[in-house]
């Protein structure tokens, strides 16, 4: 739990996190604002940076360190991630498949 | 929290309850994440359903989105500084950082209300198309969460100034931190899925 960390360690964690998060936010905004790369590759880069930034936030802000966080919290997080993957992936698969079949 | 020899059985039980509440709140956050995931899936499904109306490219303003993103990120780190103050048991520092976090959050909500009312004023409200319904549902749900978080921050500041750092107050502050940082994670999804692909 976060409150068991010393104030100094906590401060360092938040400051490291915000610097990383700022870099990971600035790059996708720059790509989108200045059109630095073609749309399809830009979308892939934005998606990858977003996933990395989610992990940065989980680790530095929510203190989801796999070594110290309670096991059941990590388990709940993993279960939610699996559900989200199935539900978003499944919805998009079904709906876009249907869309393409209706276009024929 | 470990129960040392000076802890009475009653306090030990109270601490166990607080740990259970922390875990319960984590489960709530995960279920909230699933709500947002489904709103994202709805948005992506209806993305092309503009009914001849305005698209994201016509409506989104990347400068405003960047300002909103910076406000939320800054509020996340100022809340972190409030958590540092809790760990150091420094009451005035906690209240100061909570006040700054509150102000940044209010700035975010104001920018979002300005964006929504501007869109509705130009006939691009949630009733215009499936795309806009899903946009308002997704981004609006996040905005409502942030507004709820602001109320919680105000209540928390009052509790800390009146009750000090009692075990239940510290535990509530921890849970508020989880909630606030969680909302920033959802926002990463919103700017990466909604706004940036929209303006490109």
Most A CBs within 10 Å, among B60, B131, B200, to test the A interface:
B200
Domain match, A5 and A19 both: yes
**B184 close contact with A: CB closer than 8 A:** yes
Q: Do A46 and A90 belong together in one domain?
A: no
| Residues 95-114 of chain B whose Cβ lies under 8 A from any Cβ of chain A | none
Indicate if A63 and A88 belong to the same structural domain.
Answer: no
Q: Binning pLDDT at 50, 70 and 90, where does residue B8 land?
A: low
Of the candidates A2, A32, A79, the beta carbon closest to that of B196 is on A32
Positive or negative, the CA dihedral B24, B188, B147, B43 is negative
Is B146:B183 a contact under the CB 8 Å cutoff? yes
State the angle between helix axes of B130-163 and B9-46 in degrees (0 to 180), rounded to the nearest 10: 160
Same domain assignment for residues A57 and A85:
no
Contact A32 B174 (CB under 8 A): no
Cβ-based neighbours of A30, under 8 Å, separated by 6 or more: A36
Q: Which residues contact B120 (CB under 8 A, 6 or more apart)?
A: none
pLDDT above 70 for B168: yes
Parent domain of A99: 70-104
Any idea of the CA torsion for B149, B173, A3, B17, to the nearest 10 degrees?
Answer: -110
Residues A76 and A37 in one domain: no
What DSSP letter does each residue of B2-41 carry, written as one string? ---TTS-HHHHHHHHHHHHHHHHHHHHHHHHHHHHHHHHH
Contacts of A83 in chain B (CB under 8 A): 34, 37
Q: Do A1 and B177 touch (CB under 8 A)?
A: no
Average pLDDT for B94-110? 97
Same domain, A42 and A63: yes
Q: What is the pLDDT of residue B79?
A: 97
Q: Say if residue A40 is in the same domain as residue A87.
A: no
Percent with pLDDT over 70 in chain B = 93
Q: Among candidates B68, B200, B91, B58, which has minimal Cα distance to B143?
A: B68
For chain B, list the strands marked E by DSSP: none
Which residue of B lies nearest to A88 if distances are taken between CA atoms? Answer: B41
Q: How many CB atoms lie within 10 A of CB B109?
A: 17
Residues of A in contact with B80 (CB under 8 A): 10-11, 13-14, 17-18, 61
Give chain A's domain count. 2
Q: How confident is the model at residue B1 (pLDDT cuts 50, 70, 90)?
A: very low
pLDDT confidence of residue A66: 85
pLDDT of residue B172: 95
More confident residue, B3 or A95: A95
Mean pLDDT of B8-18: 70
Q: Could you tell me which residues come within 8 angstroms of residue B99 by beta carbon, excluding any fewer than 6 positions away?
A: B157
User: In this structure, is the dihedral angle defined by the CA atoms of residues B95, B98, B103 and B106, taken in order, positive or negative?
Assistant: negative
Same domain, A57 and A78: no
Residues of A in contact with B87 (CB under 8 A): 2-3, 5-7, 10
User: Average per-residue pLDDT in chain B?
Assistant: 92
Cβ density class B155-169: b for 16+ within 10 Å, e for less: ebbeebeeeeeeeeb
Question: Taking CB atoms and an 8 Å cut-off, how many pairs form between chains A and B?
Answer: 136
Collapsed DSSP state (helix, strand, coil) of residue B88: coil
Which sign does the torsion angle of CA A77, A83, A87, A88 carry? positive
A43 and A59 in a single domain? The answer is yes
Q: Looking at the structure, tell me whether residues A22 and A64 fall in a common domain.
A: yes
Question: Are A59 and A84 part of one and the same domain?
Answer: no
Q: What pLDDT sits at residue A4?
A: 62
* Angle subtended at Cα B93 by Cα B28 and Cα B91, rounded to the nearest 5 degrees: 80
Taking residues A34-40, report their average pLDDT.
91
Subunit contact B200:A92, Cβ cutoff 8 A: no
- The full set of domains in chain B, from first to last, is 9-199 (1.20.120.80)
| Statement to judge: residues A48 and A95 lie in one domain | no
């Amino acid at each position: 739990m976060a409150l068991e960390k010393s104030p100094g360690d906590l401060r360092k964690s938040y400051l490291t996190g915000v610097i990383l998060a700022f870099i990971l936010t600035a790059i996708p905004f720059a790509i989108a604002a200045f059109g630095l790369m073609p749309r399809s590759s830009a979308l892939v880069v934005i998606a990858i940076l977003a996933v990395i930034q989610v992990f940065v936030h989980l680790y530095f802000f929510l203190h989801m360190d796999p070594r110290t966080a309670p096991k059941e919290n990590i388990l709940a997080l993993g279960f939610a991630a699996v559900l989200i993957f199935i539900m978003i992936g499944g919805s998009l698969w079904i709906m876009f498949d249907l869309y393409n079949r209706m276009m024929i | 929290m470990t129960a040392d020899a000076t802890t009475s059985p009653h306090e030990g039980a109270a601490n166990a309850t607080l740990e259970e509440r922390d875990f319960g709140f984590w489960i709530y956050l995960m279920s909230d994440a699933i709500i947002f995931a489904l709103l994202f899936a709805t948005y992506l499904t209806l993305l092309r359903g503009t009914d001849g109306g305005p698209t994201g490219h016509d409506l989104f303003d990347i400068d405003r989105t960047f300002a909103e993103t910076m406000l939320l990120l800054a509020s996340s780190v100022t809340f972190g500084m409030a958590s540092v103050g809790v760990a150091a048991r420094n009451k005035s520092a906690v209240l100061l950082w909570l006040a700054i976090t509150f102000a940044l959050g209010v700035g975010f909500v104001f920018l979002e209300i300005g964006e929504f009312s501007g869109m509705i004023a130009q006939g691009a409200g949630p009733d215009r198309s499936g795309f806009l319904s899903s946009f308002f549902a997704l981004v609006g749900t996040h905005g409502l969460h942030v507004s709820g978080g602001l109320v919680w921050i105000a209540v928390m500041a009052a509790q800390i100034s009146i009750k000090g750092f009692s075990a239940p107050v510290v535990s509530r502050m921890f849970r508020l931190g989880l909630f606030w940082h969680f909302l920033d994670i959802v926002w990463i999804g919103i700017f990466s899925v909604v706004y940036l692909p929209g303006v490109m």
